[in-house]
Amino acid sequence: MPDNIDFRAHGSSEQVFLSYKTTGIQTTLIKLEMNADNLTFYSNVANGKIYLAEIVQDGFEAMSGSGFIEYMVMNTDTFDATFYIDLADCSDDILPAPSQQASISSREVYTSTFQVQTTKTDAYNYTCTVILKNSEGCEVDSKEVGFNTIAQQNYTVDQGESGADSKGTEAEQEYKDASGCSSCSGMFSLF
């Protein structure tokens, strides 16, 4: 075994660790092969509860990406565990949201959000379900969330006509008047 690899039991023969010593930052690939006949994998499978699942601002603009569903979940068991939180069973025209994972300590509360995006420009009523799953992927709780969107707003800006007089377009003149700038050029940014 090379000098920079340390493989030994720590404390008792049941706790074995492997360390690799390096003198600098490098890209390293370590291949570990072992007999898995006596290897045991432990996973904490806990119960949990969803205490809150609601839209942050009801009536957000369709297709704006400004919709958020906030949720609050709790690990109700006496040990730390991993949970998965999904936004599922959404109405048509709601884009899928990626599943989220959280390691939650015993009796601790975890809060986060899902971004909600519609594919429809009209005002509409929607529903989605927030689903809490344990580390084995089994559903332990769920809550349905209802929300509304308002129709997508269409904004137009009058670009003026070609051949405008020396005062510029009406919008440019309003900008000059409002800003108090009498020597502003005919071009200005709307954004």
Task: Categorize the per-residue pLDDT at 17 as very low, low, confident or very high, splitting at 50, 70 and 90.
Answer: low
Asked whether residue 96 is domain-assigned, the answer is yes
- 104: domain CATH number is 2.60.40.10
> Domain range spanning residue 62?
48-150
For the stretch 80-111, pLDDT in tens is 999 999 999 999 999 999 999 999 999 999 99
Asked whether residue 169 is domain-assigned, the answer is no
What is the per-residue pLDDT for 150?
93
Asked whether residue 56 is domain-assigned, the answer is yes
- The number of distinct structural domains making up the chain is 1
Asked whether residue 85 is domain-assigned, the answer is yes
Question: What is the chain's mean pLDDT, rounded?
Answer: 81
Q: Find out whether 149 and 62 touch, Cβ atoms under 8 Å.
A: yes
116-132 mean pLDDT: 95
What is the per-residue pLDDT for 41?
72
Asked whether residue 83 is domain-assigned, the answer is yes
Which amino acid belongs to residue 67?
G
| pLDDT over threshold 60, residue 15 | yes
139-150 β-sheet, strand order: 60-61, 139-150, 124-133, 81-88, 100-104
Asked whether residue 92 is domain-assigned, the answer is yes
Task: Categorize the per-residue pLDDT at 37 as very low, low, confident or very high, splitting at 50, 70 and 90.
Answer: confident
Asked whether residue 27 is domain-assigned, the answer is no
H or E element at residue 173:
helix 170-179
Which amino acid belongs to residue 122?
D
Q: Find out whether 55 and 145 touch, Cβ atoms under 8 Å.
A: yes
Asked whether residue 135 is domain-assigned, the answer is yes
38-44 mean pLDDT: 77
Task: Categorize the per-residue pLDDT at 135 as very low, low, confident or very high, splitting at 50, 70 and 90.
Answer: very high
What is the per-residue pLDDT for 124?
94
